[in-house]
Amino acid sequence: MKKLAFLFLILLATAPTQAAVPVQKIEAMLDKPKVLCGRFEQSKQLAGMKKPLASSGRFCVVSGKGVLWRTLQPFASTLRLTRNEIVNFQGDRVAVRLDAQQEPTVRMINSVLFSMLAGDLSQLDKLFDVDGAIEGNGWHVVLKAREPALAKAIGAISLSGDNYVRGIKIDEAGGDRTTISFSGLQSGEQAMQPEEAALF
C-alpha cells in the first residue's frame, strides 16, 4: 500500500481535456448508486512465478465515504479507503495506516480508486487517456496515464462492465498482471453487511 502511495507522488500531472464521446456515452450507461457492494475474485500473475495467485472477498463502494475491500480468501485482510486515510487491517490489527497529514497524496489515491470501482469515468479522464468502446449492453475502456512517468510505472488499466463495473485488468510494466472480476452486485443501504457498516 505504501508503495502505491509513493507512486502516486509522481502521478497526477496533467491538465483535464474534453472527454471523448464514448466516455460520455458509457457514463450514461452506468448506474451511480449511493452504496454498491458485491463479491470479487482476484487473480494475479506475478513476474517470476509460474502459478497465478487467486484471492477473493467482498467490497463496498459508498459515495461520499470511500471504499472497503475485504479479502477473505486465502486469508483475511481488510483495506479501508476514506477521504483522509488508508487503513489496512490484518484481522482486527491495524497493519498499516496512512493518513493525508503524513502523505498528502492519500486523498488523490483514494479518489482514483473510488472512481475506478464506481465507474466515474469523467473523474478518471482528468488523469488518464480513456479509450473506450461499446458492444451491445456492455462497454470496455483502456486507461493510460497521461503522465509518461506514471504510465511507464503502472502500465495499462482496463475496465469493463454494463450498468456497473464488472471487471478490472491491470498490466504493469514490471510484468505483474492482475485480473479482478465482480459478481453478486447489490445496491442500496441493505447491500452492506453489518460488520461492513461497522467498519465505515
Chain residues in the site for another protein (CB under 8 A) = 1-15, 40, 42, 44, 46-51, 53, 55, 69, 71, 74-75, 77, 79, 88, 90, 95, 100-105, 107-108, 113, 148-150, 152-154, 157, 170, 172, 174-176, 178, 180
CB of 1 to another protein, least distance (A): 6
Gap between the Cα atoms of 168 and 22, Å rounded: 18
Which one, of 118, 163, 125, lies nearest residue 21 by Cα?
125
- C-beta closer to another protein: residue 29 or 170: 170
- C-beta closer to another protein: residue 22 or 158: 158
- On whether the CB atoms of residues 182 and 40 are closer than 8 A, the answer is yes
CB of 71 to another protein, least distance (A): 6
CB of 21 to another protein, least distance (A): 24
- Cell triple for 72: 477473505
- On whether the CB atoms of residues 116 and 166 are closer than 8 A, the answer is no
- C-beta closer to another protein: residue 23 or 143: 143
CB of 137 to another protein, least distance (A): 27
- C-beta closer to another protein: residue 8 or 164: 8
- C-beta closer to another protein: residue 6 or 134: 6
Gap between the Cα atoms of 167 and 116, Å rounded: 10
Pairing relationship of beta strands 85-90 and 77-82 according to DSSP bridges: antiparallel
Q: One-letter amino acid identity for 80?
A: R
CB of 140 to another protein, least distance (A): 18
Q: Dihedrals φ, ψ of 153, to 5°? A: -75, -40
Gap between the Cα atoms of 26 and 15, Å rounded: 22
